[in-house]
Structure 1
Amino acid sequence: MMDSSLEEQFTSAYTFLNNHTGINLSNEIKLKLYGYYKVATTGKVNTEKPSLWEIRGRAKWDAWKEVENTPTEEAMQMYVEIVEKANIGWNRDQLDDTTSEEIDIDKENNKTNAQQERMTYVSTLSYEEDEEEDNDENDIFSYAKKGDSVELNKILDLGEVDINAKDNQGLTLLHWASDRGHLEIVKLLIEKGADVNIMSEEENETPLHYSCISEHLDCARYLYHHGANPLIKNAEDSVAFDYCNPQFKEEVIKE
């Protein structure tokens, strides 16, 4: 029998994300949330893997596939823990009181297309990337995320910013540019001395990890051919190429 308190926490967590769409989460966290969300609400992968060039769809599919054997309750628990640890204003002891819809997680019950679409949105991967993501429009990290190389370059030229500094998520400018697929910014940062092998604070992942997870081929190729070490392992003991298929890796490493 499903733990009703866990189901309530799970429902509250994804409702909180749905009601606070301006929350800024790294692509890595979004993918983990999506994978556990799909397992909790659908079960094992039941669709074909998108083509290599369907970047967003393929990343989501891979995230789901990676955890598809996780038991339903464990997947819900993982989702709850990730949202709570993200430190975005939600915790299981103070459930989101805006939850007005009870969503049945029982896989035996049918869901309408509208429900499915809403829950997919709640999974957080479909947040609009062109929304204002930072409170400070002039924050250097916001320029890296939005792909504004002109403004980013102006700040870097002042020489007052540590190009390898990390934000409150433990990510550098190069991590964000690689995550979002902003090749021009990746080039700019490396040209100005960014550490191509710098690791994120918590997961110990390099920019190459992020570009492979997101399957931004151009960024991954540039990083690889400009000193990115593909043998560096993250906290999960995985190298960057563990997150992409052989065809993608082949495209990255070819001359």
Structure 2
Amino acid sequence: MDSSAAFTSASTYLTTHSNPTLPTPTLLSLYALYKTATIGACNTPRPGLLDFTGRAKWDAWKKLEGMGREEAMRGYVEIVGRETGWRGDRGSRSATETSPATPEVSSSKGSVFVSTMQNDREDVDDTHKTIFHHTEEGALSSVRGLLATTPSLAASQDSNGMTPLHWAADRGHVEIVRVLLENDATAVNGRDAEGLTALHYGRFWGGG
């Protein structure tokens, strides 16, 4: 297949198979390559500070500025083949043959969605809950109360290097995101143990 046909086949495969498993950086790369291949250089303003999903996708696309469409198609095809088992007109490996990775993704109507992180914290009573427990649960008033007495908690990190902002972004708790940023605007740049910022933890990666 030529580059265009292979690109079309790879993108169709990715959006019609329900349970591929791809890490977030790979999804961002695929998004950026797809936009470059189909549209060209990034041509939209950077989304606002609280649009975590939009900003992460925009940043990934912007980084490919100067890349040609043909090169983007080849890069997209290479990643899909390597990460999902797609092999063009030769078929594809079964799901059990592909390498597991997190977070999980599924495909729906041409858009790739990233699943939220699993909550593996032990159940604790309210008196022993940390800002991470309250953030995951969407307990806005509790988060406000903790930050009122200890503002530095906005920049605290759990055992995986994740801040409350990572968790709020992943869980889609927009109001808690706002409160955390009001207490520490620099928290948006905080990185977890994998080097990811809260921008990478938006609950959904749409196809826009």
- Residue of structure 2 equivalent to 1:196: none
- Alpha-carbon separation, structure 2, partners of 1:31 and 1:207: 18
- Residue of structure 2 equivalent to 1:211: 197
- Alpha-carbon separation, structure 1, partners of 2:67 and 2:198: 23
1:46 to 28, 43, 48: 43
1:25 matched to 2:10? The reply is no
- Alpha-carbon separation, structure 1, partners of 2:80 and 2:53: 21
1:78 to 59, 64, 75: 75
- Alpha-carbon separation, structure 2, partners of 1:50 and 1:209: 22
- Residue of structure 2 equivalent to 1:146: 118
Name the amino acid aligned to 2:86. W
Answer whether contact 2:55 2:199 (CA < 8 A) is retained. Answer: no
1:129 matched to 2:115? The reply is yes
- Alpha-carbon separation, structure 1, partners of 2:29 and 2:76: 8
Name the amino acid aligned to 1:181. H
- Residue of structure 1 equivalent to 2:59: 62
- Alpha-carbon separation, structure 2, partners of 1:17 and 1:44: 22
- Residue of structure 1 equivalent to 2:3: 6
Structure 2: state its 5+ residue gaps.
93-107, 124-158, 169-190, 203-208
Answer whether contact 2:28 2:60 (CA < 8 A) is retained. Answer: yes
Report the 3-state secondary structure (helix = DSSP H, G, I; strand = E; otherwise coil) of the residue aligned with 1:23.
coil
Q: How many residues align?
A: 129
Give the share of equivalent positions with the same residue, in percent: 33
Answer whether contact 2:42 2:62 (CA < 8 A) is retained. Answer: yes
Deviation at 1:94, TM superposition (A): 1.8
- Residue of structure 2 equivalent to 1:227: none
Q: Greater relative contact order (Cα 8 A, min sep 6): structure 1 or 2?
A: 2
Looking at secondary structure, tell me which structure has more helix per residue: 2
Answer whether contact 2:31 2:61 (CA < 8 A) is retained. Answer: yes
Report the 3-state secondary structure (helix = DSSP H, G, I; strand = E; otherwise coil) of the residue aligned with 2:20.
coil
- Root mean square deviation, CA, Å: 3.2
- Residue of structure 1 equivalent to 2:85: 89
Report the 3-state secondary structure (helix = DSSP H, G, I; strand = E; otherwise coil) of the residue aligned with 2:195.
helix
